[in-house]
Amino acid sequence: MITPTVTATLASVTPTTTFSSARSSSFASTSPTTSTSPTTSTSPTTSSSIVTHSPSSSPTITPSSTLTPSTTVTPAPKPSETAKRNGQPGTGSGSTSSCNDVQPWQSNLAYSAGAQVIFKNQLWTATQWNYNNNPDSAAGAWTLNGACNPPINNKVDCTGVPGWSQSTAYPGGSKVTFNGHLWISTQWTQSNSPGDTSGTWKDLGVCQ
């Protein structure tokens, strides 16, 4: 019996792989290089220098002279408040007048222009007809003549004048005595006593 001898010879095959340029270009780098750290300047440079100006000199002001008033001004006396209210010049207490035979102002009585009265020891003259308006309250109705010169002699002679009687009718111009004064009626009147609010009697003064 013949036994064949088979000897296997293993060839050594070394594969050679050649990559063409076209092929190799397909294997490009897939890991791109990306810069993820941008450089940003967050600290701006600002010039903060302050220029200081120093004055070269400090001016000094020296007054050249001293003003001294050469005169003294003396204010003129003020007019009285009543005179100012009535538009009168400052006569007031600086001027005096004789008040003899002039009677004090009387309430509830009509005064014609030119009538004179004594009010607060001053002489006043009515500039127009007015009723129950004293010199203080009636602007323009009275003119101030000045302060009364003392003593004031305005008492009247009541000799022979009858006393007032309530039952008697008195025509205008009638004279009576009442409470030590001499009175004259300004119109016809009866039962109105002298000095009441009717204004029908005018006081002529205190009896001597």
**Which pLDDT tens digit goes with each residue over 102-118?**
999 999 999 999 999 99
**Which pLDDT tens digit goes with each residue over 7-32?**
544 444 444 444 434 333 333 334 44
Res 95: pLDDT: 85
Q: What's this model's pTM, rounded to 2 decimal places?
A: 0.53
Separation of CA 130 from chain center: 35
Q: How far apart are CA 72 and CA 114, in angstroms?
A: 43
**Which pLDDT tens digit goes with each residue over 36-66?**
444 444 444 444 444 444 444 555 555 555 5
Q: What are the angstrom distances between the C-alpha of 97 and each of 67, 76, 116, 147, 170? A: 46, 22, 12, 6, 35
- The two three-digit tokens of residue 31, written as one number: 């890991």
Res 139: pLDDT: 75
Burial degree of 43 (CB within 10 A; 0-12, 13-18, 19+): exposed
**Which pLDDT tens digit goes with each residue over 137-173?**
887 999 999 999 999 999 999 999 999 999 999 999 9
